[in-house]
Chains A and B, each alone.
Chain A
Amino acid sequence: MATIPAETPKIRVPLPPTDAKVVTTACEYCPVACGYKAYIWPVGEAGGPSADSNAQATDFPSPVPSGRWPSPNMHTTVTIDDRLQNVIVLPNPDADVVNVGGNHSVRGGTLALKLYRPDGPTRDRLQRPMLRVNGTLQPIGWEAATDIIAQMIRHTVDKHGELATGFKHFSY
């Protein structure tokens, strides 16, 4: 029983090259919102094992304990602008609150796996707003979706009061 739905086990994880795109992000699995960094670069390119040859500025094998190791489940590939890209989501080593020193939970550590892949476990993700009409989900535009949501909230507040409203959202 794997704790994480596994794709083909990886035998290596590519390191981000020095020119990889780096963005800071926050884990959304719980309200703490630990800090992470996402490294994004084209498949086919890779950084080297010395600190001056990868975007993590880390020598490999990475020190222990350090939280600087991109584990197989921290890596995925996605399509961005019609090009296959590597993505690694690692704890932000510069974070000075909450998850300092590269610490992460099993949820934050697997943030990369929640990215949409048509050939992966996220293939069933909704890619556009859907409206249930006569029992069947049908795709609608964002404008129509937000209009309907606004009108439903207005109607509920007017008829039953503010405490009758609530939101439920879902994330992988």
Chain B
Amino acid sequence: MTTGPWQPLRKERISRRSLLKGGAGASVGAAGLVLVGCGDNDDETIRELLDEINGLEDELDEVEVDGGASGAGAPIRYPRRRIAAVSDLREGEPLRFDYLLVGQSSLLIKLGKPAAGGVGPDGDIVAFSELCTHMGCPIASMYRPDSATVGPCAGHFTMFDLTHRGMVVIGQATENLPQVILELEGDDVVAIGVNGIVYGYRDNLADGELAGEGA
């Protein structure tokens, strides 16, 4: 367990978990919803939460947004979307898809090397927003299979490491590249959330229409 600024995250996760357990029966809590804003580096916690949620209700009808005005820390639930089949993916050949909203263009990539948050038999299937978090330039065409990075961005040279949750390797951006949280459903790769805010948005679910399924 790391120390310092990360410690409050653990407390935060526990309190949200308790909140969800206590309140989900009486509220909407639907299958296909995921709690994010829980902190980086902890897909297990998210999966535990998913299991709890999925045990409570059946279908997703609407997106529930439940947040405070300060912008920090409130629970939000993102819809599940099937993106592609594992068997459709070729190593080093990204597929583009929109998630969560139309225009929030993302990349699904089989990196060929294990990655944090990676799914699939080799733990190497990941997905990220394709907009640089510095000034919003599209960087999809700058994927570099040799190093599993994207960049340098044509704008101001920011590079992101896709094996380390979109961490900024070099450049000007103040945020990691937002990572689409994935899980497998049989042979299907399913998006269940986003870690980070997509460039240009005040909220990943505001000011647009939900995208459909598929790449």
List residues of chain A with CB under 8 Å of any chain B CB.
Answer: 1-15, 43-46, 49, 60-67, 69-75, 77, 84, 86, 102-106, 109-110, 121
Contacts of A45 in B (CB 8 A): 69
Given A2-B40, A69-B199, decide whether A10 and B135 contact each other with a Cβ distance below 8 A: no
The answer for the CA separation of A105 and B156 in the assembled complex, in Å, is 9
Whole-angstrom CA separation of A166 from B85 in the bound complex: 65
User: Which residues on B are within 8 Å of A, measured CB to CB?
Assistant: 4-6, 8-9, 12, 36-40, 67, 69-74, 76, 103, 131, 133-138, 155-156, 164, 167-168, 171-176, 195-204, 206-208
Evaluate contact between A44 and B69: CB separation under 8 angstroms: yes
Q: List 21 A-B contacts (CB under 8 A).
A: A2-B40, A3-B168, A6-B5, A7-B8, A8-B9, A9-B195, A11-B67, A11-B203, A12-B206, A49-B202, A61-B201, A61-B207, A63-B136, A66-B135, A71-B174, A71-B197, A72-B175, A74-B174, A86-B71, A109-B134, A109-B174
Do the beta carbons of B72 and A10 come within 8 Å of each other?
yes
The answer to whether B69 touches A43, judged by C-beta atoms less than 8 angstroms apart, is yes
Bound CA span A58–B120, Å: 41
Q: Which 7 A-B pairs have the closest CB atoms?
A: A64-B136, A61-B200, A12-B203, A65-B135, A109-B174, A73-B174, A11-B37
Say how far A48's CB is from chain B's closest CB, in angstroms. Answer: 10
Given known contacts A7-B5, A64-B131, A109-B172, A14 and B199 CB-to-CB distance under 8 angstroms: no
Tell me how far the C-beta of B159 lies from the nearest C-beta in chain A, rounded to whole angstroms. Answer: 12
When the two chains form their complex, are residues A60 and B202 in contact, meaning their CB atoms are under 8 A apart? Answer: yes
User: Are A60 and B201 in touch, CB under 8 angstroms?
Assistant: yes
The listed residue with most A CB atoms (<10 A of its CB), out of B174, B203, B204, is B174
Min distance, Cβ B150 to any Cβ of chain A, angstroms: 16
Contact A11 B8 (CB under 8 A): no
Q: Which residues of B contact A4 (CB under 8 A)?
A: 174
CA distance A168 to B147 in the complex (A): 40
Q: Are B40 and A9 in contact (CB under 8 A)?
A: yes
Who on chain B is nearest to A112 by CB? B174
Pairwise interchain contact B70-A73, C-beta atoms closer than 8 A: no
Residues of B within 8 A of A75 (CB): 71
Contact A105/B172 with A11-B37, A62-B200 known, Cβ cut-off 8 Å: yes
CB-nearest residue of chain A relative to B133? Answer: A71
Rounded to whole angstroms, the CA-CA distance of A139 and B155 in the bound complex is 48
Is the beta-carbon distance between A106 and B171 smaller than 8 angstroms? yes
Do A12 and B67 have beta carbons less than 8 Å apart? Answer: yes
Contacts A8-B39, A121-B5 given; indicate if A65 touches B76 (C-beta within 8 A): no
Known: A13-B197, A13-B202, A44-B69. A60 touches B172 (CB 8 A): no
Supplied contacts A1-B164, A6-B6, A9-B196, 15 more A-B pairs, CB within 8 Å: A5-B5, A8-B72, A10-B197, A11-B197, A11-B204, A12-B67, A12-B206, A13-B71, A49-B206, A65-B135, A66-B200, A71-B197, A77-B72, A109-B134, A109-B173
Known: A49-B207, A61-B201. A2 touches B71 (CB 8 A): no
| B207 CB, nearest partner CB in chain A, Å | 5
- Please report the C-alpha to C-alpha distance between residue A4 and residue B173 in the assembled complex, in whole angstroms: 11
Cα(A60)–Cα(B103), bound, Å: 13
User: How distant is the Cα of A75 from the Cα of B203 in the complex, in angstroms?
Assistant: 13
Enumerate chain A residues within 8 angstroms of B40, measured Cβ to Cβ. 2, 6, 9
